[in-house]
């Protein structure tokens, strides 16, 4: 099946889009340059038919192209089965995450977290004790994609405050998550901004992202800028 997928991906690749994507994802050279709608279409076709055979093959072979990895992640988000089986496939996929694009696409597609908030939250907790940059980014992006709500905002902020890692793409994810928390829960997040243990780079980047939002008025932006370290 993978050979057929690769052939199809090559037929859909665009040199200019490949060049564009390589500029967005530094250090990743195995990009064909296939647009997301095509990847989602292929994933939907797989998820509709023999997805177990596909996942068995995908999980036991290395991907040649990043687009293969993206399709794998999308398929996991689309399959219809019980939560235990889905989370098993999530765990198996995690070692394949080696850049922000694969991570974020995967997280956004895991809509199962919206249905099973408590169960998926518990699944995420051990990940925050890991020292792998992209495992941690996965946890952070899962929180910002599915858990910035009334029931979880305090736990999200507490979890973000405990993350200490030198990985640049993790720091950027934490900053992004804090900014989304502020947009949705400004009062609680402002208190967090006044009392936290984030490193200076992450903290200041979070402030920058908040101020870039068009939903924040000028007076509030001035207040946020005054917090810069």
Q: Any alpha helices (H) in the chain, and if so which ranges?
A: 2-12, 15-24, 36-48, 51-59, 66-78, 83-93, 100-109, 112-115, 117-124, 133-146, 153-161, 168-184, 186-194, 200-212, 218-225
Axis-axis angle for helices 200-212, 168-184 (nearest 10): 50
Q: Measured between alpha carbons, how far is 151 from 117 in angstroms, rounded to an integer?
A: 10
| pLDDT on residue 1 | 86
Which pLDDT tens digit goes with each residue over 66-121? 999 999 999 999 999 999 999 999 999 999 999 999 999 999 999 999 999 999 99
SS3 152: coil
Q: Measured between alpha carbons, how far is 33 from 67 in angstroms, rounded to an integer?
A: 8
Using the structure block, give the residue that is written with the tokens 């901004």. Answer: 193
Q: Across the chain, what does the average pLDDT equal?
A: 96
Q: Measured between alpha carbons, how far is 225 from 142 in angstroms, rounded to an integer?
A: 27
Q: Could you tell me the two tokens for 3?
A: 């050979």
Q: CA gyration radius for the chain?
A: 19
Q: How far apart are the first and last CA of the chain?
A: 53
| pLDDT on residue 189 | 97
Other CB atoms within 10 A of residue 211 CB: 18
**Cβ neighbours of residue 71 closer than 8 Å, sequence gap 6 or more:** 5, 39, 42, 43, 46
Query: Greater confidence, 1 or 173?
Result: 173
Which pLDDT tens digit goes with each residue over 111-161? 999 999 999 999 999 999 999 999 999 999 999 999 999 999 999 999 999
Q: Could you tell me the two tokens for 168?
A: 């640049």
């Amino acid at each position: 099946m993978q050979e057929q997928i690769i052939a199809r991906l090559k037929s859909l690749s665009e040199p200019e889009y490949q060049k564009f994507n390589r500029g967005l994802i530094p250090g990743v050279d195995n990009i064909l340059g296939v647009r997301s709608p095509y990847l989602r279409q292929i994933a939907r076709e797989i998820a509709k038919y023999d997805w177990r055979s596909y996942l068995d093959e995908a999980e036991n072979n290395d991907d040649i192209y990043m687009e293969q990895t993206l399709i794998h992640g999308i398929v996991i988000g689309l399959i219809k089965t019980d939560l235990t089986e889905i989370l098993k496939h999530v765990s198996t996929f995690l070692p394949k995450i080696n850049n922000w694009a694969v991570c974020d696409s995967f997280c956004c597609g895991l809509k199962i977290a919206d249905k099973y908030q408590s169960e998926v939250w518990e699944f995420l907790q051990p990940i925050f004790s890991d020292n792998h940059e992209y495992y941690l980014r996965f946890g952070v992006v899962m929180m910002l994609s599915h858990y910035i709500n009334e029931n979880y905002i305090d736990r999200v902020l507490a979890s973000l405050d405990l993350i200490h890692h030198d990985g640049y793409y993790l720091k950027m994810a934490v900053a992004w998550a804090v900014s989304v928390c502020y947009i949705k829960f400004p009062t609680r997040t402002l208190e967090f901004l006044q009392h936290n243990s984030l490193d200076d780079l992450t903290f200041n980047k979070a402030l920058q992202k908040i101020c870039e939002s068009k939903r924040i008025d000028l007076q509030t932006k001035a207040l946020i800028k005054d917090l810069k370290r």
